[in-house]
Amino acid sequence: MITTKLLMIDDEESFVSALSKRLALRDIEVVPAHSGQEGLNKLDEDPSIEVVLLDVKMPGMDGIETLRLIKGAHPIAEVIMLTGHATFETAIDGMKLGAFDYLMKPCEIDELTTKLDAARKRHQEHLDKILEATGKQLRGQRAR
Amino acid sequence: MNSSEKTTDSYYRSLTRNIVLIIVGVSVVPLILITLTIRHFSQTSYQDKVIEHLQVLNKKHKQNIDSFLRERLADITVMKDSYTLDQLANNDFLKEKLQSLQKNSSDALVDLGIVNDQGIQIAYAGPYDLKRAHYAEAPWFKEAIQQPSYISDVFPGLRGIPHFIVAVRGSDNGRQWLLRATVDFDKFNSLVENIRIGETGFAFILNKKGEFQTKPRTEVPPLKDPYLNFLSPDTRDNEQEGIVSNSQVDGKGVIHVMSRLKNGDWVLAFQQTESDAYKALYLVRTVSVLIFFVGVIGIIVVAVLLSKRLVKRIRQADQEKEMMTEKFIEAGKLASVGELAAGIAHEINNPVAVMLEEAGWMQDLITDAGPESIPMVDEFQRSLAQIKAQGVRCKQITHKLLSFARKTDPIPKKVNVNDITREAISLCEQRVRSGSVKIQAQFADGLPTIRVSPSEAQQIFINLINNAIDAIEPKGGAVKISTRQEGDFLVVDVADNGPGIPSYVLPRIFDPFFTTKPVGKGTGLGLSICYGIVKKLGGDISVNTAEGMGTTFHVKFPIPKAREEKTGH
C-alpha cells in the first residue's frame, strides 16, 4: 500500500486531530498545521509532502492567500480546499488559482480519501514527468 | 373601531380644524382690516365732503340774504338821501316811489312810511291803512331812532301778520325822522324756504331770542341751544362762520350748519339729519358689509372643503407611508435573521464536523479491532450510526441556513427566464423520477431577457418547485410551470394541484423559519429566501391558493427598460 503524505492546514485543532487518526488508519500520514504560515513552514521543511488539505476560512492568513503562496513556492504540491458552505464561492476561486479540488465540511471520509488518492496520483505524475525530464537531461549530458 | 383608529381620526380632525382656522384667519383678518380702514377713511372723507358742501351752501345763502337786506336798505337810503322830508311826506309822491322801487326790486317791499320823531307815521304808501299809525311804543321804533339804519326782527305789528321792516334815519332841521319800509315776508321767506337739501335738510333763520324769522319747513326740534350759543356774546368775537355741531334728536344725529346774519343778530341755520346727509355713505356701507359677509362665508366654505380634501390626501399618503414602513421592517427583519442564521450556522458547522469525525474514528476503531472482540458491538454501531445520521442532519440544516444568508454570485446577467426555469426543472426532476409526480412546462416564446443573478433566480425556482412537489408528493399530481409577459413584468407561475395552503397559515408563509413540513424535512427558509431575492430585484412574489384546489405562486421580474439595458452592457 502506498502511503500518502498529507499536510493538513486548519485552525480547528480537534478537527485536525480527529481526522488525522482516521486518515492514519487509511495509510495517510498527516502533518498537522494550524495556520497558513505554519503550513508553509512545514512544506518548506518537508519536501516529501504530496497533498495539502487547506481550510478556506482561517483567522489571520486565509486559505486563498495561503494557496497563492503554496503554489508560488511549491508548484507541484496538490491542494484540496476544505470549505464551509458559506465560503463555497471562495473554494471555486481557489480552484481557479490551481487547487486540485474542493470539499465541503463536514466531509465523508471515503470521499476525502478518494480525492486525496487522485491528488496524490496527479502529484506523482508531475513528479514522474519531472524525473523523466531530468533523466533525459542527464542522459543527454552523458551522450555528449 | 379600535382606540388607535379613534386617535388617528381625532388627529386628522384637529388637522382639518387647524387648516380651516389658518386659512380663515389669514384671509379674513386682512379682509376685516382693509374693510375697516377703507370704511373709516371713506366715511371721514365723505362726511368732510358733505359738511364742506353744506358750509359752502350756507355761506352762499348767507351772502344772498345779506345782500338782499343790504339792497332793501340801500333802496330806502337812496330815497332818503335823494328827497327832502317834505317831498317824501307827500303820500302820492311816496306811492310813486314805492311803485318804482317795487318794479326794481321785484316786489320785495310791501309798503313805505315816514315816521316822525314822535313815532307817528306822517306818510304811508302801501296796501294797508296805516297812515297816522302810532309807533312810539313799538320796540323797533325805539331802536331805529337811535341808529342811522335799522332792520327789525320779524313781528306781527299792527297789521297782525309777521313781517319785518327796514328803516333809515333822516334829519330835518335837527328833528329826526324815519323812512321805513316793510319787507315782503313771503319774498324774504322764499329766500330761505327754497333751500332744501336731501329729504330732511332745510334752512331757517333765528333771532337772538330763538324766534323764527322765517317759516320753518318742518317742525324744528326743540333744541335751539346750538344756535343761541352761537349767537351769544361770548362767541361773538369769534369770527367763525358755518360752525358745525352734531347733536342727537330723538336718537338721530343731526347736523347743524350756521352763519351769522345782520351783524350777528340773526343766525342762518341749516339742519339735516345725518342719516339723510350720509345716505349714499350708508348705502355703500351696507353693501360693503353684505359683500364682506358673503366673502367670509365663501372663504369658510372653501377653507372647509379645501382642507377636507387636503387632509384626505395626507391621510392616504400617511397610510401609504405606513405600508412602506411595514415593508421596510419586513425586509430588515429578513436581513437580520439572515445574518444571525449565517453566524450560528458557521459556528455550529465546525463542532458538527469534529463530532462527525470523532464518530467516524470510533467506527474505524471498531472495524480495526474486529467487531467480535467488543461486547455489545451492535449497540455501539447503532449508536454511532445514529450520531452520524444526526450529524449529517445538522450539516444539512447549517448548509441551508448558510445558503439563506450567503452571497451567491450576486452579479446580475442578461438571462432568459425560460432557460433558467428549464435548468431548475431538470435539477428537481431527480426527485420525481420515482414518484407519481409530473412536471409540465409551458413557456411563452419571444420573452424579453431580464437582468438577474442566474444562481439566485435558480434558487427561487428550485425552492418553489420543491415546495410544489412536497405538497403533492404523497398523493401524486402535477406541477405546472409557465412563463408569460404581463406589462412591464415577466411572470413565472409555479402551480400544483395539491391540497392548497390553509388560510391560517397563509399570512406566515414568507416568514423565516416558518414551515409546515415535519421536523427534519424543511427549514422554513425556502420561501423567505425567494421573497428576499425577488424583492431585492424589484419584483414581487404572490400566491393564489384555495384549500383542496392547489396553489399557484406568481413570481414577477421587472423587465429592464431598453435604455437601461444598453447602458448596462
* Tens of pLDDT, residue by residue, chain B (569 residues): 456 666 778 888 898 999 999 999 998 898 889 888 988 898 889 888 888 888 888 888 888 888 888 888 888 888 888 888 888 888 888 888 888 888 876 677 888 888 888 888 888 888 887 777 788 888 888 888 888 888 888 877 777 777 888 888 888 777 888 888 888 877 788 777 777 777 777 788 877 777 777 776 665 555 566 676 666 655 554 455 666 666 666 667 778 788 877 777 788 888 788 888 888 888 888 898 899 899 999 999 999 999 999 999 999 999 999 888 887 777 677 667 767 777 777 778 888 888 888 998 898 888 888 888 888 888 889 999 999 888 888 887 777 666 655 555 667 788 888 888 888 888 777 677 666 788 888 888 888 888 888 878 888 888 888 888 888 877 888 889 999 998 889 999 999 988 888 888 888 888 777 777 776 566 677 788 788 888 888 888 888 888 888 899 999 999 887 655 444 44
Q: What are phi and psi of B19, to 5 degrees?
A: -65, -45
A96 to chain B, any CB pair closer than 8 A? The answer is: no
Rounded to whole angstroms, the Cα distance separating A139 from B152 reads 175
Q: What is the dihedral of CA B307, B313, B316, B317, to 10 degrees?
A: -110
A89 to chain B, any CB pair closer than 8 A? The answer is: yes
Rounded to whole angstroms, the Cα distance separating B324 from B332 reads 12
Rounded to whole angstroms, the Cα distance separating B497 from B477 reads 6
Residue of B354, B356, B357, B367 best to disrupt the A interface, most CBs of A under 10 A: B357
How many CB pairs below 8 Å do chains A and B form together?
58
B48 to chain A, any CB pair closer than 8 A? The answer is: no
Using left for φ > 0, alpha for ψ between -120 and 50, and beta otherwise, residue B342 falls in: alpha
β-pairing, A78-83 with A51-55? Answer: parallel
Rounded to whole angstroms, the Cα distance separating B269 from B428 reads 119
Instruction: State whether A85 and B356 contact (CB < 8 Å).
Output: no
Residues whose CB is less than 8 angstroms from the CB of residue B353 and which lie 6 or more positions away in sequence, other chains included: A12, A15, A105, A106, A107, B395
Smallest Cβ distance to B357: which of A22, A84, A88?
A22
Å from A131 to nearest chain B CA? 37
Residues whose CB is less than 8 angstroms from the CB of residue B326 and which lie 6 or more positions away in sequence, other chains included: none
B80's grid cell: 332818503
* Cβ neighbours of A107 in B, within 8 Å: 353
Å from A16 to nearest chain B CA? 8
* Cβ neighbours of A25 in B, within 8 Å: 364, 368
* Cβ neighbours of A15 in B, within 8 Å: 350, 353-354, 357
* Cβ neighbours of B353 in A, within 8 Å: 12, 15, 105-107
Q: What is the ipTM of this complex?
A: 0.77
DSSP tag of B155 = B
A86 to chain B, any CB pair closer than 8 A? The answer is: yes
Sheet (strand A78-83) strand order? A28-33, A4-9, A51-55, A78-83, A101-104
Instruction: State whether A22 and B364 contact (CB < 8 Å).
Output: yes
**Beta bridge partner(s), residue B207:** B266
A32 to chain B, any CB pair closer than 8 A? The answer is: no
Instruction: State whether A106 and B361 contact (CB < 8 Å).
Output: no
ω into A106 cis (within 30 of 0): yes
Sheet (strand B109-116) strand order? B121-125, B109-116, B175-183, B164-172, B149-151
Q: What are phi and psi of B149, to 5 degrees?
A: -140, 155
Rounded to whole angstroms, the Cα distance separating B504 from A69 reads 57
Look-up of cell digits 323764527: B212
A60 to chain B, any CB pair closer than 8 A? The answer is: no
Single out the residue of A3, A2, A69 nearest to residue A42, CA to CA.
A69
Cβ proximity of B295 and B31 under 8 Å: yes
